[in-house]
Amino acid sequence: MKTILYGVSVQFKMDLRSNTLLVTCYAVPLLFFLIMGGIFTSLMPEAKQTLIPAMSIMGISMGAFIGVPPSMVEIYATDIKKMYMANKIPLSFGIITLGISAFIHLMITSILIFIFAPIMFHAAIPSNIPHYFITLALFIIVSLTVACVLGLGVKSQAKLTMYSQALFLPSIMLSGIMFSTKLLPNTLETIGFLFPATWGYRLLTQSNPSISSYFPLCIFFFVALFISIGFLKKIKSE
């Protein structure tokens, strides 16, 4: 446990020096929140009711899908992997420390949005705050697990950028955070269900969802976890 905590501490400090992570976890999501929060609430006053979950989903999706995978490629597609193996450090150590560190970053961004949205844009505060943050934590974990699939499965940074964008853009365009999914053609609305953001947004905008409402996110988690373990075993054998 001490080793993991030390690893997370080191990773967290490294993340703060990483331009990519600072941009994707803090700068862009918070700038998007500041600009679009004002636009949304001015043009559509009803957007105040869902501004906090919508901006949080956007920030988490960007940080997880755009910011985290490149850091994983730096570990598992370079000599850092050989260093792990030479020192008999489990390859999963890098994922665990990076994942916990990223979780903290994304939660900080979400908390900042939660605090400042009501102050700056008179956004509605979720009625069930404990449920909101539990669901938010679950969504972050699921998003990071999906990010592991990208980070472990793609070795080229150029290809990774393409795949990350292909996952991120539909996540924010088809999930309902930008505009109601009822405005989408039926085909695009159906495609939106293939992304965790759609289900996360639905859960975050409900005060007391049923247990079955969590099943889709759980499915995403276990499928992504299974695939990630497979990729990790493949990397270890290379």
DSSP for 191-210 reads HHTTSHHHHHHHHHT-SS--
151-158 LR contacts (CB < 8 Å, sep 24+): 151/68, 151/69, 151/70, 151/71, 151/72, 151/73, 151/76, 152/72, 152/76, 152/95, 152/228, 152/231, 152/232, 152/235, 153/227, 153/231, 154/69, 154/73, 155/73, 155/76, 155/77, 157/70, 157/73
Q: What integer pLDDT is reported at residue 15 of this predicted model?
A: 66
Encode pLDDT of 48-103 as tens digits: 999 999 999 999 999 999 989 988 888 776 666 667 666 677 777 778 888 888 99
Is the pLDDT reported for residue 218 higher than 90? yes
For tokens 């974990």, the residue is 141
Across 145-168, average pLDDT:
90
Q: Where are the domains of the chain?
A: 2-237
**Neighbour-count burial of 35, counting CB atoms closer than 10 A to its CB (0-12 exposed, 13-18 middle, 19+ buried):** exposed
**Tens of pLDDT, residues 107-142:** 999 999 999 999 999 999 998 899 999 999 999 999
The band of 17, judged by pLDDT with boundaries at 50, 70 and 90, is low
Question: In whole angstroms, what is the distance from residue 180 CA to residue 177 CA?
Answer: 7
The predicted structure's pLDDT at residue 154: 87
User: What DSSP state is assigned to residue 125?
Assistant: P
Average pLDDT of the chain? 87
pLDDT value at residue 97: 86
pTM reported for the whole predicted model: 0.91
Q: What is the mean pLDDT of residues 13-31?
A: 80
Q: What is the pLDDT of residue 10?
A: 66
CA 26 remoteness from chain centre: 12
Report the distance separating Cα 1 and Cα 89, nearest Å: 14
Asked whether the predicted pLDDT for residue 3 surpasses 80, the reply is no
